[in-house]
Amino acid sequence: MSKESDAIDQVFKIHEDAKKERTQSQKLDQIRVGTSHLTREEMVWADEAEAEAQDGPTEPYHPIQHREDTRSGCLGGVLYAVFILCVSIILACLGWMAASDMLALNKESFTATVVLPDSIFETEVVETTDEDGNVTGRKTIRHADIDYLSNTLKQAGLIEYRWLFEFYCRMAHADEKVRPGEYQLQSTFDYRALIQNMRPNAGSASTVNVTLIEGMTMREIFVRLERSGVASFEDLMEAAETARFNYSFIENAEDDETIEAERLEGFLFPETYNFYANMQASSAINKFLEQFNSKLTDEVLAQIQDSGRSLRDIVTIASMIEKEAADDDERADIASVIYNRLRADMQLGIDASILYVHQDHDGAPTAEMLKEKSPYNTRVYKGLPPTPICNPGLMSIIAALNPSQTDYYYYALDTETGRHRFFNDENEFNAFVATQDYE
């Protein structure tokens, strides 16, 4: 019985081993199909079982899994791209807005009046140099207050972004280009056009006509210019003393020195002028001097040279003729009296000369004025006064260059006719004066 029992046990063992092998084979097949549902213990077992099946060592089996960092990296790349796109859109919008303002794109068309007062400008004297860097002289530069300028244009609706306009002004040195004045500016002007049209010679500058009459003094002219809105009296006087004018007949101060404003007297040619409102004072004065210079033709210059006198002397004589003559027909005769007295070394005795230092006085000079020891008192001092006593017209200048050939030494106003009577004898002159009431 024991032998039979052992045999039966042996048969069952063989059967159990075969069954066990089939079970392992089935599990291995299952692992090859998919492993996502196995536990960690089962995967370890599978590795050991496969190694045993192949009768050799093997590395642990690791199922393929999706990496978390890969999914995170893709999402970060998408977000970065979106960020770059948003920034680009914002910058593009800002760039378009800035370009639209700078180039005046898509703006409603209108005209705005802009006033740049002289008070927003500062004057600076700088040195000028040649190509080698050597100092050749000095020049005066005026700088505008860019903050005031941008604020004014913003309020007028001509610009939208002050910071952008101010940046442009600094890059283009606009503070040195614009000038005081009143300007009519279009909303369609870009930044460059706005700057170009805020200068006196621009077509947008408001203008005013001023007529200057022969015989007006420099101060009377400056008062009229101030009342007409061209420039202030103070600025004009300062320019008369300090500004440099490139004309041979005008004396200029050296370096930062000042000179008498009366250097301009006689050379502010009387005529009707077209000025810009609130323009630079020196520019307004230059218009007079330029006009005077245009009258100095070759013929006139030749006559001055033949006279043996300087241009300033001729203008001074012309200024006295201008103040004394009742009409054009008298000018050459009055000129002859002046020249005859100068040659005879006599006092000129022209009362209009002493009135030059009393420009606020109306009427004839008083007895006290005629006794003053002033170089302008031609009853006391011989020769010509220090400067012209007014700004003469062309007819008086012509008379000064072409005096009548007479032996007259005296003249007096005939109150009945309103013209002058001329004499070569002092007694006859005094007798006539005694018949006139000059009060």
**Could you tell me if 280 and 313 lie in one domain?**
no
Residue 383 in any domain: the answer is yes
**Could you tell me if 242 and 269 lie in one domain?**
yes
Residue among 418, 401, 270 at smallest CA distance from 338: 401
Residues of the chain with pLDDT > 70, as a percent, come to 79
> Does the pLDDT of residue 283 top 60, yes or no?
yes
Range of the domain at 112: 100-128+137-205
**Could you tell me if 341 and 407 lie in one domain?**
yes
pLDDT at 95: 63
> Are 273 and 292 contacting, i.e. CB atoms less than 8 angstroms apart?
no
pLDDT digits (tens, 9 = 90+) for 251-277: 987 766 668 999 999 999 999 998 988
pLDDT digits (tens, 9 = 90+) for 24-41: 555 555 555 444 455 666
Task: Look at residues 153, 180, 205 and tell me which one is the last residue of a structural domain.
Answer: 205
> Are 391 and 266 contacting, i.e. CB atoms less than 8 angstroms apart?
yes
Residue among 277, 276, 438 at smallest CA distance from 363: 438
> In this structure, what CATH number is given to the domain that contains residue 181?
3.30.1490.480
Cβ neighbours, 10 Å, residue 369? 17
**Could you tell me if 160 and 111 lie in one domain?**
yes
Look at 59-68, 175-184, 260-269 and tell me which has the smallest mean pLDDT.
59-68
Residue 389 in any domain: the answer is yes
Residue 123 bridge partners (DSSP): 142
Residue 108 in any domain: the answer is yes
Q: State the total domains in the chain.
A: 4
Q: DSSP readout, 317-355?
A: HHHHHHHH-SSHHHHHHHHHHHHHHHHTT-----HHHHH
**Could you tell me if 268 and 279 lie in one domain?**
yes
Mean pLDDT, residues 167-184 taken together:
87
Write the CB contacts of 290 (distance below 8 Å, at least 6 apart in sequence): none
Mean pLDDT, residues 87-114 taken together:
76
> Does the pLDDT of residue 87 top 80, yes or no?
no
Residue type, 367: A
Query: Residue 11 — very low, low, confident or very high, per pLDDT cuts 50/70/90?
Result: very low
More confident: 437 or 106: 437
**Average pLDDT, rounded, for the chain:** 83
Mean pLDDT, residues 236-241 taken together:
94
pLDDT at 89: 76
pLDDT at 118: 72
Backbone angles phi, psi at 183, to 5 degrees: -130, 145
Cβ neighbours, 10 Å, residue 351? 16
**Could you tell me if 303 and 428 lie in one domain?**
yes
Query: Residue 75 — very low, low, confident or very high, per pLDDT cuts 50/70/90?
Result: confident
- The token pair at 184 is 């009519």
Q: How many Å separate Cα 366 from the centre of its chain?
A: 49
Residue 394 in any domain: the answer is yes
Please count the CA atoms within 13 angstroms of the CA of 338 that sit on its side-chain side: 32
**Could you tell me if 419 and 320 lie in one domain?**
yes
Phi-psi sector, 305: left (phi>0), alpha (psi -120 to 50), beta? alpha
**Could you tell me if 330 and 429 lie in one domain?**
yes
pLDDT at 69: 55
More confident: 203 or 134: 134
**Could you tell me if 191 and 211 lie in one domain?**
no
**Could you tell me if 327 and 416 lie in one domain?**
yes
- Classify burial at 258, counting beta carbons within 10 Å of its beta carbon; exposed 0-12, middle 13-18, buried 19 or more: exposed
Residue among 400, 394, 251 at smallest CA distance from 314: 400
Residue 338 in any domain: the answer is yes
Residue among 245, 120, 221 at smallest CA distance from 178: 120
Please give the angle made by the CA atoms of 330, 336 and 339, to the nearest 5 degrees: 140
DSSP H or E stretch at residue 211? strand 207-211
Query: Residue 183 — very low, low, confident or very high, per pLDDT cuts 50/70/90?
Result: confident
**Could you tell me if 179 and 255 lie in one domain?**
no
pLDDT at 271: 94
Task: Look at residues 187, 205, 223 and tell me which one is the last residue of a structural domain.
Answer: 205
Cβ neighbours, 10 Å, residue 285? 24
More confident: 363 or 408: 408
> Does the pLDDT of residue 43 top 70, yes or no?
no
Residue 93 in any domain: the answer is no
**Could you tell me if 309 and 417 lie in one domain?**
yes
Residue 81 in any domain: the answer is no
More confident: 78 or 216: 216
d(CA 285, CA 273): 11
> Does the pLDDT of residue 76 top 80, yes or no?
no
Query: Residue 140 — very low, low, confident or very high, per pLDDT cuts 50/70/90?
Result: confident
Residue among 332, 326, 317, 285 at smallest CA distance from 419: 326
Residue 74 in any domain: the answer is no
> Does the pLDDT of residue 85 top 80, yes or no?
no
